[in-house]
Amino acid sequence: MIEVSKLTKTYHLYRNPKDRLKEALSLSKQSYHTDFDALHDVTFSIKKSEIVGIIGNNGSGKSTLLKLITGVLTPTSGSISLTGKITALLELGAGFNPELTGIENINLHGSLNGFSKEEMENKTQEIIDFAEIGDFIYQPLKTYSSGMKARLAFSLAILVDPEIFIIDEVLSVGDAAFQRKCFAKLESFKEQGKTILFVSHSAGQIVQLCHRAIWLHKGHKVIEGNTKIVTGLYQKYGSKKELDFEKIQEEFQSKLLPPEKKQAEKHVQALCNPKIQAKSTIIYEENGAKISNVKLLTLDLEETNLIYKNSEYFYSYDVEFFHTYQNVNLAMLVKTKSGFEIGGKQVPILQEKIISTVQANQVYHVKWKFKNILNQGTYFFNCGVNTIVNDEKIVLHRILDAYMFEVLPNQNDFANNVVDFDFKLQIETSE
């Protein structure tokens, strides 16, 4: 969706305005300026439905890059290729008339983007509802706080229904609840196959939202790749005025995982990040059983929540039954962080000839062995237990988003989206 190749933006800097005039009138073409590269030889590409974050200190070239991509600025050299309708939030209040009310700015924005009066009538209330600024929507924009401007700006930007959405730090204003609302909208954009380029000073936001990160420093691209590694190195070295690019790139490479084949030769190491905790867990009422001690384990039975692809694990939990039951079914499910159900299984334990009847006041240790074929990303496990009485399914206990885990990236992995089908490429020449 976005292809940037060897992009450079150079500005002429003059000591005073007279030097600009002297250079323009010089018959000998004498130079009175010095060159400043706001961006120098930057190359990257962004695929459809990817969310890519750009991080860097003030003056690193982030805003310049976005202005070049959106056509606000013209590059000195290099090329930019875009596929699809693009909308951008580059500066707070940009594109607004401060003398007009919020409603008038909405109508102005709609007409500039080619929407008919009828289309705007259908969309205006949706914009007002999303912005949540109350009666201020009827007041001049010059009376708005920065947070209110951000609310209206974001609401208007999503009106265009872009294929490429570019955001420059504007979500740093506004309250936490509205920021979460915006991030949820960005997640829905991703699920719709839209592409997002996101600039932020917040490493946490980059890690939370983005698939990849790009670190810029004084107009140069330092590293690009895994968000946690990129933002971690940025936090480690970003405060330095001068960077040792080669050293940082070597450290970045050393932190990437080894090829999966090497991981498959032995049981994988248990990696556990205590900060990875599901905040969306919903525990059903206990109705004859209780699920507890939900974990993801290595084959060595060590808890882990950072796992490798193509390696085997156990998903485990304990079930205590309050009564004796027959026809008990154990269930599990894997979901993406957006709630999309990837796959799961419900197994009648009688059918599996494991046990015919569960006993009251007995705790059973359940383990589901699986091979991880998920690609890099964040996922959740559900778990449940039910029984059949008179042909009616009765849920004994259930936990949604019971366990959160992440699949780690691999630099030699070219599979995309959620599941790796292990496609094998074959190419033959005609005789």
The full set of domains in the chain, from first to last, is: 2-85+162-255 (3.40.50.300), 96-155 (no CATH), 282-407 (2.70.50.60)
Task: Return d(Cα 390, Cα 341) in angstroms, integer.
Answer: 29
Residue-wise pLDDT tens digits, 141-153: 889 887 788 788 8
Q: Are 100 and 141 in contact (CB under 8 A)?
A: yes
pLDDT in tens, the chain (431 residues): 899 999 999 988 888 888 788 778 877 778 878 888 899 999 999 988 888 999 998 889 988 998 899 888 999 999 999 888 787 777 656 668 888 998 888 888 778 777 787 878 788 888 888 888 888 999 998 898 877 887 888 888 776 677 888 887 666 555 666 776 777 777 777 777 788 888 887 777 787 778 899 999 999 999 999 888 888 888 888 888 889 898 888 888 877 755 444 444 446 667 888 888 888 899 999 999 999 999 999 998 899 999 888 899 999 999 999 999 988 999 999 999 878 889 999 988 766 556 778 899 999 999 999 999 999 889 999 999 999 888 888 999 999 999 999 988 776 677 778 888 877 777 888 76
Structure token digits, residue 119: 């289309």
The tally of CA atoms less than 13 A away on the side-chain side of residue 285 is 2
The residues pairing with 378 across neighbouring beta strands, listed in sequence order, are: 406
Structure token digits, residue 400: 């949604």
- Full DSSP string of 291-339: EEEEEEE-TT--B-SEE-TT-EEEEEEEEEESS-EESEEEEEEEEETT-
Task: Return d(Cα 402, Cα 379) in angstroms, integer.
Answer: 11
Structure token digits, residue 283: 């525990």
Residue-wise pLDDT tens digits, 52-98: 999 998 889 988 998 899 888 999 999 999 888 787 777 656 668 88
> What is the reported pLDDT for 264?
42
> What is the reported pLDDT for 215?
94
